[in-house]
Amino acid sequence: MNKKILIYRNCPLCDSKIAQLKYKRNYDLNELKGDENLFSARRERKKKAYEHNTFLQCSDCDMIYANPIINPSIVEKLYNQSKFNYSDEQKNIQRSYGSLLKIAEKYIKNKGNLLDIGAGNGFFMLEALNQGYNQVQGIEPSKHAVVLADSRVKKNIINDILRPNQLKKDYFDAISIFQTIDHIENPNEILSICNKALKKDGLMLVISHDVESFSARFMGEKSPIFDIEHTQLFSRKTISKILEKNGFKVLEIVNISNTYALEYWIKLSPVPKLIKTFLKKIFDFTGLSSMQITIKPGNFGIIARKI
């Protein structure tokens, strides 16, 4: 059973087989059955740590990656049935993602066609239209997310994962992949596909968790970034290397701020459920639950150009 579910691999950055154990898998494989929320973004954690696969650190390039990973054919089905359950925080996330798009204005040559990979319900596609892009397209595996998409962009979202030969060559002025590159079995393949689909000097926009951030180092295995959805976790060094490996020049790396309601930050925290419930009651009573808090939790944005 395990051999069918789990797939072993080398380092996704340098292909090395030599690595050190960081964290062991902390869930039973039977948990993959019947839980439609297991691969739903920003789900509420059931334990002190999110369910995650075994994580290793490459001895040659320091890349942190899951090995073994769940068979991609199983993962595809889990993503297809996953739920878009963070619509309450959509505006705040759209603002965070939009901040990177604004920074990219000084590098973009033409606000023509933008593709968003892992588009959810298309909220960033709407942001791109608001910032002056002429046409937007999206790719999103969750059926539920696409159903919830705004009518202005819904018809432009492909309900699927990104596959070879799916995109027009030399077509897009910009491609965004936000909090998605760490979910992919083979990031080299995806970046290669994106490179071919971009026009000359087109921009690749990436937002990712920083595995070397203070929060990740302080919380360790209890950090939300160690999650069953994540197949690799990047640092600034490793994200730069993999982009350069696939035909991109990194132009700028910035810290990304996130603004969420206080009750949402508590939801993401690793404290026991009993304490979360107690804190929620206090903040609900005092009216502080909806208070907006802006912090830099440990995400970076990367702007890179096709070369």
Report how many domains make up the chain. 1
Beta-carbon contacts of 259 under 8 Å, excluding residues fewer than 6 positions away, are 92, 95, 96, 292, 293, 294
Span 67-80, pLDDT tens digits: 999 999 999 999 99
**Does the residue 40 lie in any domain?**
no
Calculate mean pLDDT across residues 259-267: 74
Q: How far apart are alpha carbons 244 and 305 in whole angstroms? A: 10
**Does the residue 18 lie in any domain?**
no
**Does the residue 54 lie in any domain?**
no
CATH number of the domain bearing residue 289: 3.40.50.150
**Does the residue 200 lie in any domain?**
yes
* Domain span including residue 147: 87-306
pLDDT beyond 90 at 12: yes
Span 201-260, pLDDT tens digits: 999 999 999 999 998 999 999 998 999 999 999 999 999 999 999 999 999 999 998 777
**Does the residue 238 lie in any domain?**
yes
pLDDT beyond 70 at 84: yes
**Does the residue 280 lie in any domain?**
yes
Quote the pLDDT of residue 1.
43
pLDDT beyond 70 at 44: no
As given in the structure block, the two tokens for residue 215 are 């929060």
- Local structure of 41: helix, strand or coil: coil
**Does the residue 61 lie in any domain?**
no
- What kind and span of H or E run contains 293? strand 292-306
The pLDDT > 90 percentage for the chain reads 70
Q: How far apart are alpha carbons 65 and 190 in whole angstroms? A: 16
Calculate mean pLDDT across residues 155-182: 96
**Does the residue 214 lie in any domain?**
yes
Residue 35's pLDDT band (cuts 50, 70, 90): low
